[in-house]
Structure 1
Amino acid sequence: MSTSTNPLAHLFEGADDVVAEIERRGAAGADHPADAREEITPYHPKVLDLTVAEVVEETVTTKTFRVRRTDGRPLPPFLAGQYISLHVRVGDVLTSRAFSISSSPAALDHYDLTVRRLRGGRVSNHLIDTVKPGDRLTSGGPIGTFYHDPLFHGDDVVFLAGGSGVAPAMSMIRDIVDHGLSRRMTLLYGSRRADDIIFHDELDAVAREHRDITVHHVISDPGPDWTGEVGPLDAALISRLAGPLAGRMTYLCGPPGKYAYLVRQLESLGHPRRRIRLEANSVALPPPADPRWPAELDPEEQVTVTVRGRGSLRVPRGRPLLDALEDNGLRPEASCRSGECALCRVRVCSGEVFHAEEARLRASDRQFGFAHCCVAYPLTDLEIDF
């Protein structure tokens, strides 16, 4: 093949070089895994060795951890809205959690990870309570599908954020500002109290200085001095603050328990589901709150999970399989912990699992018996392999 025989090649800069390289590799008659690995690894590393450079106290519940690559090299590029999965040891358990990058893709000397304290949050509270500048962390590379695609999402978007769900919105806003993007963005940001609004001053300053960025703060528990908007963030308030939604992509990131409610509010305004994007950052309805959970099965009752070649363990039905494995020193590869990325797939050799609704199972998963163990719960005794 040559560019002279391809009628589209002249439309692409560098097409001649690409075609020549394809022909060179084809003539060699072999794959080039070493070459491919060398080119891909800087962009998609399996492990990043990070050092905490700075810890910023954003609010009484939230801190931002600025991390840099320990060896001083630039960090892999990412798209605003993506996350990294931190590997953290809490007590005797090595686990991981996904945290959205809140810094701008324009600055690759660091990532900012904005973490809010959660009731019962094993990793978030550990980070907030113990991690300090100079500490070392490891993570995977940037990953995730919750980002703006200019081809399909248009240049006028709406973002509904709650709590630390403002982190990917902040990255998107900083991306617009730093790269001078021709994009309009309206942020409706819900917080419980005025003193817990993350990035409050920066968001207000950006909105004042950039006419294409609009920020509305919505408080659910206002104090006597609050003069802004008061929640809940329902259809009427969304319509009044964001204006007509027709043709605009809408992003949702915040407490997953609010997603179903917010989707209903948007749909009641005639906004189609295909124009609503959710950040899948945890499971919204664990058993037995999920109405699909078999009513006759007690989520606290224990079953036996046998891992081929590694022994057996007793776990409650209502505990995610990934958490149960980590509790016992067994660690499948994992990243999103929300059923999306599929890195934590395990093969179910026997027995039955229950998948949370968020699990994005593929046809091949169903055909060959694979489970996304971060959102899979053992209904019966299981034998698995990974």
Structure 2
Amino acid sequence: MTHPLADRFDGTAEILAEIAARTPDTRDYHRETHRTIDAYHPKRLRVVVTDVIGETATSKTFRIAAADSAPLPPFLAGQYVNVFIDGTSRPFAISSSPARLDHYDLTVRRVPGGRISNLLIDTVEVGHHLTTTGPMGTFHHNPLFHGDDVVFLAGGSGVAPALSMIRDIVDNELARGFHLVYGSRSADDIIFRDELDAIAAAHPNIRVDYVIAEPNPGWHGPTGFLTAETITALVDELRDRMVYVCGPQALYPYALQQLTSLGQRRRRIRFEANGAPADPTAQPHWPAGLDATEEVTVTVGATSFRTPRNRPLLDALEDQGIRPEAACRSGECSLCRVRVCKGEVHHAEEARLRLSDSRFGYTHSCVAYPLTDVEVEI
């Protein structure tokens, strides 16, 4: 049978003959493509703890490496991995440099009453194996939009992504200016102080200032909180530089108020996702007069259970051994999306819902609270 192109183009017969003579390409490109993607964006990593570094009386850094000794996936300074432990998971920022892929450093600060931070600090030792996600998150420098002169307001362990960004600047000899203003309860609880001081002394483009809330008699630096006055005194004029903020939840609304009072535009302020709200009832759209501690019924398929209204839906599901995929636990990544088939939930302000979510009944379960009896689909 004559090929339909044979009479339309000169040389068709020769080209078809050459194609027919070639050795068939039987490679599985689908599998090869997924193998490449998984190397850079793995769903899970099996890691081993190679070192535990005591940073302060309340914090430790856990150095982890791939259990098979392979290089870890690349990441951008400021990103995190989600650690799976004790039937749940928590995200922790990587504090090490993106230039080093033989390990990640995860710096954890003890949270009073915190389930996972205390478990990690009190029980995890060298040689322990852990499971994490690959690196993820949007809290990193974007050279096209953030400029080459940035300010970082950190509180407590919120200095972890800041150190990764600083190490990135040093290791890759970047010309970026970086001013860290680090608030800590006491001088003894400043994480990475020696390294930060040494880097700042050696690199004129990096500046570090500490602000101590409860200073001892020997402290001679700035004190109190990260007020507008303190920011102005240390940073001078913000000049619309990009400002990163990372720390305890209480820092975020406070920092936003202080920065906007200085004329900083909201789109020039970036907050790291840092957990569900401690008190969802404090948000203005929580229904007035509704008892947050009263229990409602959650139904998933053939399983039903009771949970208080003020417990995140994701936590309530995990309590029953039902574990949707999750990562940021802050309403940003959307991996824990579930569909609410019946009933009503409170969407916390932190939820980064898609425009279509409300139409089709989806919510981010990590920052959703069941207000009535609900039926959900995972």
TM-score, normalised to structure 1, is 0.90
CA distance in 2, matches of 1:284, 1:147: 22
Secondary structure of 1:109's counterpart equals coil
Check if 1:37 corresponds to 2:34. yes
Check if 1:226 corresponds to 2:226. no
- Which of 92, 100, 115 aligns to 1:99? It is 92
Residue 317 of structure 2 is matched in structure 1 by 325
- Which of 339, 346, 359 aligns to 1:354? It is 346
Check if 1:78 corresponds to 2:75. yes
Map 1:154-169 to 2 at 5 A: 154-169=147-162
CA distance in 1, matches of 2:113, 2:104: 26
CA distance in 1, matches of 2:33, 2:126: 36
Select between 210-219 and 264-273 the one with higher mean Cα deviation.
264-273
Unaligned runs of 5+ in 2: 1-24
What's the CA shift for 1:76?
Answer: 0.4
Secondary structure of 1:218's counterpart equals strand
Residue 289 of structure 2 is matched in structure 1 by 296
Check if 1:273 corresponds to 2:259. no
What's the CA shift for 1:231?
Answer: 1.9
Residue 213 of structure 1 is matched in structure 2 by 206
Check if 1:68 corresponds to 2:65. yes
CA contact (8 A) 1:280 1:340 kept: yes
Secondary structure of 1:58's counterpart equals strand
CA distance in 2, matches of 1:32, 1:316: 49
Check if 1:250 corresponds to 2:243. yes
CA distance in 2, matches of 1:217, 1:72: 38
Map 1:52-201 to 2 at 5 A: 52-89=49-86, 94-201=87-194
CA contact (8 A) 2:277 2:367 kept: no
Aligned pairs, how many? Answer: 353
What's the CA shift for 1:285?
Answer: 4.6
CA contact (8 A) 1:302 1:317 kept: yes
What's the CA shift for 1:247?
Answer: 3.1
CA distance in 1, matches of 2:288, 2:112: 27
CA distance in 1, matches of 2:224, 2:198: 23
Secondary structure of 1:245's counterpart equals coil
1:125 partner amino acid:
N
TM-score, normalised to structure 2, is 0.91
Secondary structure of 2:145's counterpart equals helix
CA distance in 1, matches of 2:219, 2:69: 44
Residues 235-282 of structure 1 show CA distances to partners (whole Å, capped at 9, x for unaligned) of: 111011112111310000001112111111111111100100000111
What's the CA shift for 1:312?
Answer: 0.7
CA contact (8 A) 2:151 2:243 kept: yes
Secondary structure of 2:290's counterpart equals coil
What's the CA shift for 1:41?
Answer: 0.4
Residue 360 of structure 2 is matched in structure 1 by 368
Check if 1:306 corresponds to 2:303. no
Identity %: 62
Select between 43-52 and 31-40 the one with higher mean Cα deviation.
31-40
CA distance in 1, matches of 2:304, 2:326: 21
Structure whose alpha-carbon radius of gyration is higher: 2
CA contact (8 A) 2:155 2:251 kept: no
1:87 partner amino acid:
F
Residue 25 of structure 1 is matched in structure 2 by none
What's the CA shift for 1:286?
Answer: 2.4
Residues 280-337 of structure 1 show CA distances to partners (whole Å, capped at 9, x for unaligned) of: 11123523222321122111111111102x4111111110000001011110000000
Residue 11 of structure 1 is matched in structure 2 by none
What's the CA shift for 1:182?
Answer: 1.1
Secondary structure of 1:221's counterpart equals coil
Tell me: CA distance 1:156–1:248, structure 2 relative to 1, closer, same or farther (3 Å).
same
Select between 259-268 and 203-212 the one with higher mean Cα deviation.
259-268
Residues 70-95 of structure 1 show CA distances to partners (whole Å, capped at 9, x for unaligned) of: 00000000000000000001xxxx00
CA contact (8 A) 1:257 1:284 kept: no
CA contact (8 A) 2:158 2:247 kept: yes
- Which of 278, 282, 288 aligns to 2:275? It is 282
Check if 1:344 corresponds to 2:322. no
CA contact (8 A) 1:286 1:356 kept: no
